[in-house]
Structure 1
Amino acid sequence: MIKNNDSAVSPVVGVMLMLVVTIIIAAVVSGFAGGFAEGQTKAPQATIQGEFSVTRGLSIIHAGGEAIPTADMLITVKNGPTFGPNLEAMSTSAINLATVTTSNGVAVMSYNSSTGGFRGYGISSFNPGDTLYVNITNCEPTILQKTVYSSHGDYYFDGTHWTFLDSDTGEKLTSADDSFWALDFVNQENIGKSFYLDVNDKASGTLISRAVVTIKG
């Protein structure tokens, strides 16, 4: 005589229990991953364009997307392949935001003139449709391109162009005379060449947008 064991779990119930456990585990993992993602800073999405003239300087254009908080914005420039191979890493320079202004002449960042310490930001964010400027006088390589400026001569601004003079003779040097002057954006011999303009998010450490800027006269 066969006896029924009522205490046994049927296969269907067992499968259902396993399914419930799986769903619970998946929900816990998903919740943890979601919380982790929310805890990380997300960089703004934006399109940045740039223009550069050896007589007018640098324009940085917010062509669309989200506003970029000024406190989290890092702008860098670096020589592109038209200057030579493998120059990006050694030529990367961060732009001092105190040299960057709005169309109204407001400095993006300022320092205390007496102490030299950080004072504050002139604007809270870089918004779509805005253009920022680096005046040609602040495009001197010792300011704009600190990683590639030359100490073998003197930079001279004649009111229109930057030139590079021999420290001893005072004569004008060419790119062939000094390898660093050959990398400088304000060098008239570099008209037609291109450099990279990167806008980065300091909070997340990621690149927001890169513009390839062609040097013009």
Structure 2
Amino acid sequence: MNNKGVSPVIGVMLMLVATVILAAIVSSYSGTFAPEEKTPTASFSAEASYNKGYIKLDHISGDPIYKSAIKIRVETSRPATSGYVNMSNVSFTPDPTYLKPGDTAYIYFTKSSVYGERAVFTGPDIRLSVAVGDKFRITVIDSDTGNAIWSSELILNP
């Protein structure tokens, strides 16, 4: 009886079984990772006008931005204050639910002349004002990831 061919066949079978088991382990391990959420990207041009009563954001390029998926933060340095504007004070045009390149968003504020001409922003966690001629920062934030989509420093024009 010749047993010389049995050993290589068993060796190949064991290698195949080990490979299948290893592939199953790697497959089950890699399937447990959730894909990372992608933050939209967009570029805007912005202007703030006290007389008009709003900040105007023109969507220049990038992904569509859905109103229900963003927060807008306003920050001032005198005194250092920040907070999210009330989204009911924000309107998108022409479609009220999202912005795509060529569309415009308006962030409305209340005008105050108690201590000079000031834009007053209110919301659930914000009450701040910006004087005409002062710098402030506006940031559009993706609600899902918490990452900034776009941010810029503006000056409140008369």
TM-score, normalised via structure 2 length: 0.67
Aligned to 2:59: 62
Matched, 1:188 2:140: no
Residue 14 of structure 1 deviates from its aligned partner by 3.9
Q: Hey, what's the Cα distance between the residues in 1 that align with 2:43 and 2:121?
A: 28
User: Aligned to 1:140, which of 114, 119, 124?
Assistant: 119
Q: Residues 48 and 199 of structure 1 are in contact (CA less than 8 Å); yes or no, is this contact kept in structure 2?
A: no
Aligned to 2:42: 46
Q: Residues 50 and 197 of structure 1 are in contact (CA less than 8 Å); yes or no, is this contact kept in structure 2?
A: no
Q: Residues 73 and 82 of structure 2 are in contact (CA less than 8 Å); yes or no, is this contact kept in structure 1?
A: yes
Q: Hey, what's the Cα distance between the residues in 1 that align with 2:121 and 2:31?
A: 50
Gaps of 5+ in 1: 105-121, 150-183
| Greater share of helix | 1
Matched, 1:131 2:127: no
Residue 77 of structure 1 deviates from its aligned partner by 0.8
State the superposition RMSD in angstroms: 3.4
SS, match of residue 92 in structure 1: strand
TM-score, normalised via structure 1 length: 0.52
Residue 44 of structure 1 deviates from its aligned partner by 2.8
Amino-acid identity (%): 20
Distance 1:62 1:142, change over 3 A: closer
Q: Hey, what's the Cα distance between the residues in 2 that align with 1:126 and 1:103?
A: 7
Q: Hey, what's the Cα distance between the residues in 2 that align with 1:188 and 1:214?
A: 8
Aligned to 1:94: 84
Residue 92 of structure 1 deviates from its aligned partner by 1.5
User: Aligned to 1:209, which of 117, 141, 150?
Assistant: 150
Q: Residues 109 and 121 of structure 2 are in contact (CA less than 8 Å); yes or no, is this contact kept in structure 1?
A: no
| Greater share of strand | 2
Aligned to 1:19: 19
Q: Hey, what's the Cα distance between the residues in 1 that align with 2:145 and 2:108?
A: 29
Q: Residues 196 and 210 of structure 1 are in contact (CA less than 8 Å); yes or no, is this contact kept in structure 2?
A: yes
Distance 1:135 1:201, change over 3 A: closer
Residue 13 of structure 1 deviates from its aligned partner by 4.6
Q: Hey, what's the Cα distance between the residues in 2 that align with 1:13 and 1:49?
A: 65
Which residue identity is paired with 1:55?
Answer: N
Q: Hey, what's the Cα distance between the residues in 2 that align with 1:50 and 1:198?
A: 11
Give the number of aligned pairs. 147
